[in-house]
Structure formats: C-alpha cells, structure tokens
Amino acid sequence: MGKIASNPLEGIKHLYSNTRAEIIWADADIAQLKEHTNDEAGSAVDLAAHTGLRVADLVRLSWSNIGQDDIVISAGKSKHRKEAVIPRYDVLNELLERIPRRSPVMLTTSRKNATPWTKDGLASSFWTAKDKAGLLERDLHFHDLRGTAATKFYIAGLSIRVIAEIMAWKEEQVEKIIRRYVSRGAATREAIRLINEARLNERIDR
C-alpha cells in the first residue's frame, strides 16, 4: 500500500461538536447522588448546581471571592480575562452558611488539615458516589451541573442575556437549555408571578 500525498478530508468541517451544554441534573438526581457523598463533596455538588462554576474554578474559589451581593471569580477557561459574577440569592446564601470556614479556600476535603479539593480528587469522589448511587448508566457528568444552574437562574426570572453573562456561554446555548428542560407550564407560572408582582408594586407606588 502506498502513501497518499495529501489528506482527502482536509478542509471539511466537522459535523459534530462535542458539547454537553444541554444536559442537566434534575433535583432528584442530585438528591440520589448526595445520599452517597460526605458533606464536603455534597457541598461541592450543591455549589456547582447553584453557581454554574466550572470545577476548575470551584476548587480555587476562596472566601475572599464572596462579596456582599455577589460571588466574583475570574474564569479559568478564559485565561482569567473574564469574570463570573453570581448574584447571592437566598438559597445560595443558605448554602454558603452551611459550608464551614476551615481554610481560605472554600471547598475542602474531610481531612483534619482541611486540604483544598483538587480537580482530580473531586472527580474521583464524584464518580465513586455516582457508582454507589447506581447512576453510572446515566450520561451525567459533574460539568453538567452548569446546565442545572442555568435552568435554576431562568426559573428565578433572570433573562437569557444575564444568564449567558453569568455562565460565560453564548445566548444561543442558554436558549437551547431553556427550550429543552424548562416546561412551558413552569415558565408560564413564573411569568404570571412576575407580572402580578410588577402590578402590585405599581399599586403600592400610587
């Protein structure tokens, strides 16, 4: 067999892009997983689902990143040129209060010296828990908790543009998640709540 002088596929665009931006964990999935994690790993899972931060940013998140109204941390994937800015809403605040302050770094292992998690260490703990929880057949990764966070932000009333800024995604990616995972009923009920709240505020102002 002779060698060919050039690649006959050169210049042809890939038809498939390996993105998991449209896959999320449901609350029931998270609850099932956390039954098999310790408190420290469970806190990491909850924090990912409520902030949308990538695991590389989660493990270096420090208490100094926590402001009065938001969590601000430079995004590692952007080579720290962009910042993730997550508003401190009530459920997130309750989670922050439950995490013990054992180190300048927020997420630590259960070891006595409060060792900060590493990406590999957290991943190992996550997959062990997923195995024990009987979830290995489910195509859900730790990274997919970002989609969960995007969905929670939308249900809370944030706009597509704002969610995209928080997640450092394109607006089109956020829209795909919302269309696929947020039921029309849930979106409609949230719209009703916002409209009623706006009208109530108008009456109060008068």
Residues whose CB is less than 8 angstroms from the CB of residue 19 and which lie 6 or more positions away in sequence, other chains included: 173
In tens, the pLDDT along 116-133 reads 999 999 999 999 999 999
Buried b (16+ CB within 10 A) or exposed e, 23-33: bbbeeebbebb
Do the Cβ atoms of 54 and 146 come closer than 8 Å? Answer: yes
- Please give the pLDDT value at position 58: 94
Provide the pLDDT for residue 4. Answer: 45
Share in percent of the chain as helix, strand, coil (round to 5)? 55, 5, 40
Arithmetic mean of pLDDT, 125-147: 92
Give me the torsion for CA of 102, 103, 108, 111, rounded to 10°.
-60
Q: pLDDT band at 90, cuts 50/70/90?
A: very high
Question: Per residue in 184-203, pLDDT tens?
Answer: 666 666 677 778 888 888 77
- Report CA-CA distances (Å) from 22 to 109, 135, 163, 176: 30, 19, 14, 7
Query: Given a cut of 50, is residue 136 above it in pLDDT?
Result: yes
Per residue in 43-88, pLDDT (tens digit) is 999 999 999 998 999 999 999 999 999 999 987 766 766 788 899 9
pLDDT in tens, 28-48: 999 999 999 999 999 999 999
Looking at residue 206, what is its pLDDT? 66
So what's the pLDDT on residue 13? 40
Distance between first and last Cα of the chain: 86
Q: Which domains does the chain have, with CATH numbers?
A: 27-205 (1.10.443.10)
Per-residue pLDDT for 154 more than 90?
A: no
Helix, strand, or coil (residue 146): helix
Confidence at residue 196, expressed as pLDDT on a 0 to 100 scale: 84
Q: Is the pLDDT assigned to residue 6 strictly greater than 50?
A: no
Q: pTM value?
A: 0.75
For a pLDDT cut of 90, what percent of the chain falls above it?
Answer: 46
Q: What is the pLDDT of residue 156?
A: 80
What pLDDT is attached to residue 11?
Answer: 42
